[in-house]
Structure 1
Amino acid sequence: MQYRRQKSLAVRQAAAELAAARVHPTHYSNGDENRFRFENISGDNDPRANNAPTYIGNFTKCLPHDKDGFLLNPSDYDAWVRAIDSGEQSEIAGLRIGPGPFQPNGDFEYANPANPNSPPLLNWSHAYSDPPAPGIRAWESQGAGLTHDLEGPDAQSVTMPPCPSLDSQELIAEMAEVYWMAICRDIPFRNWATNATTESARNSLKRFWWFRSDRTDDLNGATDRLPDSLQRRRIFSENGTTPVPLEKLFRGVTPGEQLGPYISQFLLIGNTGIANAQSITDGQIAYGAIRADQRVRIACEDVDYLQNWNEWLDVQNGADVRNRESYEAGYRFIARPRDIATYVHHDALHEAYLNACLILLGLKAPFDRGLPFQLADYKDKQQGFAQFGGPHILTLVTEVATRALKAVRYQKFNIHRRLRPEAVGGWLYQRRNGNSTIRNRLAALTNMEAAFSGTSQLANVIETRNGTHDNWLLPMAFPEGSPTHPSYGAGHATVAGACVTILKAWFDHGWELKSGGSRFAYEANADGTSLFDVSTIYTDTLTVEGELNKLAGNISIGRDWAGVHYYTDYIESLRLGEQIALGMLEEQKLTYSENFSLTVPLFDGTSVRI
């Protein structure tokens, strides 16, 4: 037993030394925090005088804003950053949050000052009746990136490149895409190839400089800071005139995402369950003797939110209007973009990958060839279970998720603090409706405004959707808009990258999806009532790797469909999660006595062997 104790200690030390040997990178932001400034404001009492930062390129949700959407006091943002960096609960609790009114010490004014438990007074701009006026919504886990972990890469040992700046051509393209995704939110995937709106979206997007293959290195003083993203980003126009096929519109770029139906098979099919009691087209996933249904609640068609300035302003001031969306009766298979937005509105983040794992086990998908215990029982004399079996991989795919969330929280709160798409929509609203002073404060959006008003025809579409001339607010799928944390990186996408990397490592990633020996490719019909086989239409080989990558893309870009994220949030966060998963696998491998390896395909098309 003394030997066992020393051996266990040595293994833990080896894992710790492996983790410690990883280089902690320097983290770079895009510099927007210090770039944009208030004009010199007359009046000694205005805290925004003397060229103070506006922070218009950064996340300010929940901090106090004025009636025009700007911070009441830039010092609130500074205090928020200091509290994030310290992680001290007392500092976070002392921050000003919401619309006010505030006492001189920064605390709320209360309905009954004599009763410390009375609710605060809140100066909401929108008139609420039914449901009643909301409460305040707090920030979410801004200290998670400061925690330490006992397994996998430290949350601060992985990084992301700077996100696109507010005045960059890349952000212009990303916002155009998010607007068009809002416009196309209710078009069935089944009908994309024949729908006039998707055709308009494609023809509009191909005109944006960032999406053109014939672009020059710079345009109108663009400040893009992601040179390698030029190679990663899909191009809507291959030669400046020929657009991409409609069925590939709004897709991701990792291997396999461009093949087959838009929605991954792992978000549609089920498994056969106990004694093959059900068909995979039933969409039921057996969890032992119980089942989970792949169908989703049906969010009401053409019902969007934050299309009114006062509602938008309240949400930026932290109004908690969650759970006020409208649903139709029943459930359906994911058939439309709004369905995938609904899925990622209420999921448990790692649930899609746990489901995928159960589906793969039900399909009897082979494990990676480097894993042990895959011969017949009479040869191996043991089966995988606690190690190298179903319980092992089911645990791994959930175990990595929390570590991914800690790493992305550090990027979100401590480094980038990127504003959400809804905030850009608010600034564009003010570019169209504000006075000259407001327009000058938002000069960084001059090129975006011009691009939307030009040949792209996007301005007309936005105004039609919102029902008002010059209303360029981004129509949101959720009444509360985005979560109360910055946009970059994306939590869903980082968890997706981590969990999918684990699954690609464990299963034979080149195996073609088959059931009963036959290949399949299912898609929901237009109303989502059933699945039908489209393998004769989509003749591409659907592999474990491709459909898992597509699953990660569906979940990540599903947040774009809701209006709460950008494209770069998806692609860079996948890669962040991938780093977390690889590090965890490297350390865990030290703990097993069996001689094994894992070959892991990466999102950039290369692979690594552990």
Structure 2
Amino acid sequence: MSDRIPADGSGPSAEHRGIVRRWVLRGLATAGLAGVASGNPPGGGNGNGNGNGNGNGGSGDGRDDSGGTDPTIKKRATNEFQTRRDTARQQLVVDADTSAHTSNDRVATDAVVAKFGKSLAHDAATGLPTTTAYEELVSATESGGTATDFTEITQAYEDAEPPTEAAGDAVTVDPTELVGDGFDSKPLVQPETAWTYLPTGGSTATLRIAGPPAFDSAETGAEMVELYWRALTRDVPFHDYPDDDLVQAAAAELDTLDGYRGPGADGTVTPQNIFRGVTPGATTGPYVSQFLWKDRPLGGGVENQQIRVQAPGSDYMTTVEDWLKVQQGIVPPLDASLPGNELGSERYLITGRDMCERVHDDPPFRQVQKAAQVLIFGMNAPLDDGIPYTLKPFEKPSASRRNVATFTEQTTLPFNDFGPLYVEKRILGATEVGQKMAWHKKWNVHRRLRPEEYGGRVEAVLGSELSTPDEVDLERLLPQNLLDSQALAETREQFGSYLLPQAYAEGSPTHPSYPAGHSVVAGAGVTVLKALFDGDYEFPSSEKVVPTRDGQSLQTATETDAMGVRESLTVRGELNKLASNMALGRNRAGIHYRSDGIGGLRLGETAAIRYLEDQLSLPRRVPGYDDLQLSLETFDGESVTIRPTV
């Protein structure tokens, strides 16, 4: 369809009602531009002659009001067009990597063992998605819905009472005490987004990350062992990690475990570094980032970061009956026999279970926004040296000398570019790009099964209520380091099954595991903040905080040395720790593997860097912006300079 407005003024036909609004807006925009060119913009007046084209009457500056082309506006429009064209060419043509993506598919069998299938039709005997449903999913995602429509993917229950007998190969279980007369399986989370185009920047399909470890690898086995230990230790306070028996047992097993890739893998795993991230700064000081604890100045007051946390011992999907229902898309609101999420008191984060709830339903970009507000309004942290501005310094002892010195020298105050609003909008822009890149990798490339699904494979081999498929020797595929682990034995003893206990009643979202969406958003948003702020800036003692043991209040490093809060903490390190907390907090809930989080951080970082390159291209013609560049240290510890794309 042509983008031009029909000459007769008619809009799209009835079948195109969804884009009527776009036609109207285009018509208004065209009318407005025509009005400016003629000197008679809509709303009256004959042009203001000042290069703004806002329709106000009268020039007042001696320019020609006769309706001719304004050379200032024309030059600007031409420059902007050239910048956008050159940027698009660079990212979509010159820099685009169009080679095929590689996914770790070495475990390929006639049964859907190693791939995502939550909410699809399942075989109740094996707990596996049916091959028919999975093949429909692949056809739809890889074709963008042209070969198989997304609505044709076979889910367990579709607009009807769930069957109690076999229907082809889609054997199901009957939920008890159903709420309502009929229901659908929980929908898949928008696989069509994998085909969404971006209006600026590179293609979401061209940027790439390494594939996840294979289903049968020692690394995946070690990731599952770590997840079982994370589940077993959810209620242990971070204060008590050094002396807790379970945490010590977990550290001892992971320290010698083949395939483990977390902190201490090249040295010693200890209660101090266990379960932490691998980004620079993530193992320094308290387990939780300052940006998840510090109060946030907001408007005329201060908002603390206490949340209503999950009740201790709230673990879900530990029986095969509950697990299989959730795999088929039945969630607690639909089945009264399934327990729902149980919340307890309100407090600051002091346990792993608290961290699970922090990253449960809250949109992940929001926590990065809060970090920006702490930096700007709470700490007055200095901007990156490459930015020719500073924000207005606050009257407090922690004000940076660079802030004060730069502020007194500058003649303009940052607002639309590099002001507080700019910072938060760049976070939103970068995270949107990262999220769409993640969806392409999730649905169109890897389709990695969720850890809860992997736990079902373990239960089929070691338990008694699920059977192994005839098509494949499942026991041979499961890593021996997992089958022999103490973590698995402890889980069986405590919960009565080999399923991975979940922190959320609904388990994971209904989209594939790799990369982690929260992690990509955290990686993108934190990368923006690291690029815009001085990463070397240290938290003053009066700004470093840690909760009391009951989580009801905060103490500063001048009042306590708990959890290593008196160690030197920098903006860069605490932002990296924030990214790790957000990424691996979902691991604590049992819905992601470690490699999902690490791969997601790297993809988000790449997305943000490309996004910022584009953003720096926009103001580069403004005097003083000619040599604009930003610097940061990546999650892998490498120094990067960000310059305009063109």
TM bucket, shorter chain: 0.7 to 0.9
Provide the C-alpha distance between the structure 2 equivalents of 1:355 and 1:195, rounded to a whole number of angstroms: 32
1:485-504 Cα offsets, whole Å, 9 max, x none, are 00000100001110000000
Equivalent of 1:29 in 97, 100, 103:
103
Equivalents in 1 of 2:528, 2:421: separation in Å?
14
CA distances 1:533-564 after superposition (whole Å, capped 9, x unpaired): 35645243101110000000001000000000
Larger Rg: 1 or 2?
2
Deviation at 1:308, TM superposition (A): 0.9
Q: CA deviation at 1:381?
A: 1.3
Structure 1 residue 173: Cα displacement: 0.2
Q: Tell me, in whole angstroms, the C-alpha distance in 2 between the residues paired with 1:435 and 1:505.
A: 52
What is the CA-CA distance between 1:364 and the residue it aligns to?
A: 0.6
> Residues 69 and 440 (structure 1 numbering): CA distance in 2 closer, same or farther, change over 3 Å?
closer
Aligned match for 2:132, one of 50, 75, 81 = 75
Tell me the equivalent position of 1:601.
633
- The aligned runs of 1:1-80 (5 Å cut-off) are 1-20=73-92, 21-24=94-97, 25-32=99-106, 35-37=107-109, 53-71=110-128, 73-80=130-137
Query: Does structure 2 retain, via aligned residues, the 8 Å contact 1:419–1:486?
Result: yes
Q: Deviations over 1:418-457 (max 9, x none)?
A: 0010011111111023599727656344474743453x42
The counterpart of 1:392, out of the listed 422, 437, 458, is 422
1:584, 1:390 → 2: CA distance?
18
What code does the residue aligned with 2:575 have? L
- Offset of residue 72 of structure 1: 6.2
User: Residues 129 and 85 (structure 1 numbering): CA distance in 2 closer, same or farther, change over 3 Å?
Assistant: closer
Cα 1:521–1:194, aligned 2, differ >3 Å: closer, same or farther? farther
What is residue 240 of structure 2 aligned with on the other side? Answer: 191
CA distance in 1, matches of 2:126, 2:243: 40
Q: Which protein has greater RCO, CA pairs closer than 8 Å, 6+ apart?
A: 1
Q: Scaled by the length of structure 1, what TM-score is found?
A: 0.82
Deviations 1:297-351 (A, max 9, x none): 1211012100010111111111133696343454110111111101111111101
Taking the aligned partners of 1:237 and 1:506, their CA distance within structure 2 comes to 32
Deviation digits for residues 74-98 of structure 1 (CA, Å, limit 9, x no counterpart):
1221111111123339811122111
Cα distance change of structure 1 residues 245 and 372 upon mapping to structure 2, 3 Å threshold: same
For residues 25-65 of structure 1, what are the alpha-carbon distances to aligned partners after superposition, in whole Å with 9 as ceiling and x for unaligned? 43100114xx343xxxxxxxxxxxxxxx2120000111111
**Secondary structure of the corresponding residue to residue 515 of structure 2:** coil
Q: Is contact 2:332-2:340 (8 Å) kept?
A: no
Deviations 1:70-129 (A, max 9, x none): 44641221111111123339811122111x4xxxxxx76569xxxxxxxxx995445347
Please, which of 535, 552, 560 is the counterpart of residue 529 of structure 1?
A: 552
The one of 311, 334, 337 aligned to 2:322: 311
Query: Per-residue deviation at 1:8?
Result: 1.5
Compute the TM-score of the two structures, normalised by the length of structure 2.
0.78
Retained in 1: the 8 A contact 2:252–2:269?
Answer: no
State the number of aligned residues.
533
1:18 Cα deviation from its structure 2 partner: 2.4
Q: 2:312 — aligned with what?
A: 301
Residue 488 of structure 2 aligns to which amino acid in structure 1?
Answer: A
Quick one: distance in 2 between partners of 1:353 and 1:72? 36
Q: 1:505 aligns with which of 531, 540, 543?
A: 531
Q: Secondary structure at the match of 1:356?
A: helix
Distance 1:131 1:177, change over 3 A: farther
Distance, in Å, in 2 between the alignment partners of 1:198 and 1:439 is 36
Q: 1:131 to 1:269 in 2, by over 3 A?
A: farther
Please point out which of 482, 494, 501 is paired with 2:508. Answer: 482
Residues 65 and 361 of structure 1, relative CA distance in 2, 3 Å threshold: same
The within-5 A match list for 1:218-257 is 233-236=262-265, 238=267, 243-257=268-282
Structure 2 residue 380 is matched with structure 1 residue 364: yes
Change (3 A) 1:521 1:373: closer
Structure 2: distance between partners of 1:571 and 1:436: 32
RMSD: 2.7
For residue 80 of structure 2, give the secondary structure of its aligned residue in structure 1.
helix
Does structure 2 conserve the Cα–Cα contact (< 8 Å) formed by 1:125 and 1:311?
no
Of 581, 585, 596, the residue aligned with 1:569 is: 596
CA distance in 1, matches of 2:333, 2:251: 33
Could you say which residue in structure 2 is the equivalent of 1:277?
Answer: none
> Which of 151, 154, 168 does residue 217 from structure 2 map onto?
168
Moved beyond 6 Å, runs of 4+: 129-134
Amino acid at match of 1:161: A
Give the secondary structure class of the aligned counterpart of 1:173.
Answer: helix
Change (3 A) 1:449 1:526: farther
Unmatched 5+ stretches in structure 2: 1-72, 163-169, 391-404
Looking at structure 1, the residues matched to 466 and 325 of structure 2 have their Cα atoms a distance apart, in angstroms, of: 24
Deviation at 1:571, TM superposition (A): 0.7
Provide the C-alpha distance between the structure 2 equivalents of 1:327 and 1:435, rounded to a whole number of angstroms: 27
The separation in 1 between residues aligned to 2:466 and 2:376, in whole angstroms, is 62
* Structure 1 residues without counterparts, runs of 5 or longer: 38-52, 101-106, 112-120, 212-229, 271-284
Tell me by how many angstroms 1:459 deviates: 3.1
- CA gap 1:66/1:440 in 2 versus in 1, 3 angstroms: closer
Distance 1:359 1:11, change over 3 A: same
Tell me which moved more, 341-350 or 369-378.
369-378
User: Would the alpha carbon gap of residues 235 and 7 (structure 1) be closer, same or farther in structure 2, given more than 3 Å must change?
Assistant: same
Counterpart Cα distance in 1 of 2:443 and 2:184:
23
Aligned with 1:540 (options 544, 563, 567): 567
Within 1, Cα distance between the matches of 2:429 and 2:615? 12
